[in-house]
Amino acid sequence: MSTSRKGGGAWRRRQEKDPYVQMARRDGWRSRAVYKLQQIAEKEAIIRPDMVCIDLGAAPGSWSQYVVRRLQERVRLIAVDLLPMDALPAVEFIQGDFREDAVLQELLDKLADRPADLVMSDMAPNISGNKAVDQPKSMVLAELALDVAKKTLRRRGNFVCKLFQGQGADAFITDTRQAFAKVKVMKPKASRPGSNEVYVVARNYQL
C-alpha cells in the first residue's frame, strides 16, 4: 500500500532528484523502497535460501523482487496486496484485503505444508497530512501485519514491519517484544530525510 502522491508537481520534482529513485531505475527495481530492505538485510540475517516468505502490501513488488533476485529464485514467496502486481518468478500473488477472512484463509491454505520463515510489511496508509488521522491508520496496518505474522510464522521465524513513530508505536514495540526473542528498531539510510518511518526487525518468534 503506497502513500498518496499529494503535491503534484512538487512530488514529481522530488522524485526526479531522489538518488534512490535514480538508482532503482538504473538497476531495474520496481521502486526505491527496495533499498530499505537491502539495507536492513545487510545488517540482519533475515533472508536465506529456500525460505518461505510473505510480503504484505507488496505492490508494486520491489521487496519481493529483491528477495527473489538475491536468492536466485530459491525461495517460496507469497505476496499480498489490494492492488494488482506484475508477475515475478517464484512469487505467488494474492490480490485482496488480508483483513477479509477469505483472503487470509487463502494465505493460510498456501502455507498448509510449511509455515513462513519471514513475514515482511512495508505497508503505509494513504497520507492526508493530518497526523491525528494518519498515525492511527498506520498503527492499524502495523498491528494487522503483526497479527498475520503470529498466525503464519514458524517458531524462530522473523518479522520486518514499517512503523511510523508517534502515538501507539511504543506499545506496538512492546507487544512485538513479547512475541519475539530479539527486536530492533532501525531507520535505513534510504528512508526519506524528515520521515518518521522506522522498521521493526523482530527475530526468533517464540509463541
Catalytic sites, residue numbers = 162
DSSP assignment of 44-82: S----TTEEEEEET-TT-HHHHHHHHHTTT-EEEEEEES
What's the sign of the alpha-carbon dihedral 28, 30, 33, 37? negative
Q: Parallel, antiparallel, or unpaired for β 153-164 and 197-205?
A: antiparallel
What is the Cα–Cα distance from 67 to 70, expressed in whole angstroms? 5
Collect all residues with Cβ–Cβ distance below 8 Å to 178 and sequence separation of at least 6. none
The three cell numbers of residue 164 are 511510523
Residue 96 has a CB neighbour count (10 Å cut-off) of 15
The distance of Cα 190 from the centroid of its chain, to the nearest Å, equals 14
